[in-house]
Amino acid sequence: MTDSIFEILENKKLARDVYCMRLSGDTSQITRPGQFVNIKIDGLFLRRPISVCDAGGNVLTLIYKVVGEGTRRMCEMRKGVKLSLLTGLGNGYDTSKSGDRPLLVGGGVGTPPLYLLAKKLVSEGKRPCAVIGFNTKDEVFLEKELKALGVPLTVACADGSYGEKGFVTDALPGDYTYFYACGPEPMLRALCDAAHTSGQLSFEERMGCGFGACMGCSCKTKYKNKRICKDGPVLEKEEIIW
């Protein structure tokens, strides 16, 4: 983990209430997909945790949804603004368990970390496929980008306005070796019930520090207590207590 200054290169709207921020800075601490950064925002006391969507060559990409004061301030930030980020937080996804044909499942703003994950899996010679779900057509993002990696992709919209009608669990393919997921907890739970393989899931929790010092984000697992920020955010299907 490190604290470093990033400069905004671009901050643009992607979908309804969803923005993509590209920043330049030291990304060397980001070692695995599924890790997150913790952003200091002027005037707010706690940092805001956001997953790494893409990182490399000193460019970091974040995709975030405006849900409250912090993300509202973020969406108003212009090119050139400098931000303090703690980077290299969290365990991230372990790609060694994926098998040849892993399935990636994203729900809403849980989709961004799957982008770097897909890139990594492809670079390891694996053939990931993905299902991403949204409420409605205006909320869909990352579809083109994931397809551009050569990942077969199904988009599901709950209201049927685009792609398959229904939830991600209604659109799962039959054939996959492992799964990786990030999204709202009800989706993660339904997915664990529906999936026929083991897998890894990324969770959210309110955080004080984001790096393991305050016990603000603890959860119980079948084996031991874990801190979502340090021992997570990625947990294995088998250890989760719903």
Ligand X SMILES: Cc1cc2nc3c(=O)[nH]c(=O)nc-3n(C[C@H](O)[C@H](O)[C@H](O)COP(=O)(O)OP(=O)(O)OC[C@H]3O[C@@H](n4cnc5c(N)ncnc54)[C@H](O)[C@@H]3O)c2cc1C
Ligand Y SMILES: Cc1cc2nc3c(=O)[nH]c(=O)nc-3n(C[C@H](O)[C@H](O)[C@H](O)COP(=O)(O)O)c2cc1C
- Give the footprint of ligand X on this chain (CB under 6 A): 36, 46, 48-51, 63-65, 67-71, 109, 112, 204-207, 233
Nearest approach, Cβ of 43 to another protein (angstroms)? 9
Q: What DSSP designation does 47 have?
A: -
Whole-angstrom distance, CA of residue 6 vs CA of residue 176: 38
208 contributes a contact to ligand Y by CB under 6 A: yes
- Least separation in angstroms between CB 101 and ligand X: 25
Residue 36 site contact among ligand Y, another protein, ligand X, none (CB < 5 to 8 Å, cut-off depends on kind): ligand X
Q: Residue 182's binding partner, choosing from ligand FES, ligand X, another protein, none, with beta-carbon cut-off 5 to 8 A by kind?
A: none
For 53-83, the DSSP string reads SEEETTEEEEEEE--SHHHHHHHTPPTT-EE
Min. distance of Cβ 220 from another protein in angstroms?
6
Contact assessment for residue 1 and residue 89, using Cβ atoms and an 8 Å cutoff: yes
Which parts of the chain fold into alpha helices (H)? 69-75, 112-123, 143-148, 185-194
Query: 190-219: which residues touch ligand FES (CB under 6 A)?
Result: 207-210, 212-217
Q: Which does 51 bind (CB under 5 to 8 A by kind): another protein, ligand FES, ligand X, none?
A: ligand X
Q: Which is nearer to ligand FES, 106 or 210 (CB)?
A: 210
Q: What are the phi and psi torsion angles at 161 (to 5°)?
A: -75, -10
| Nearer CB in complex with ligand X: 39/129 | 39
Site for ligand Y in 213-232 (CB under 6 A): 214, 216
Task: Tell me which residue of 80, 65, 64 sits closest to 23, measured CA to CA.
Answer: 80
Rounded to an integer, what distance in angstroms lies between the CA atom of residue 75 and that of residue 72?
5
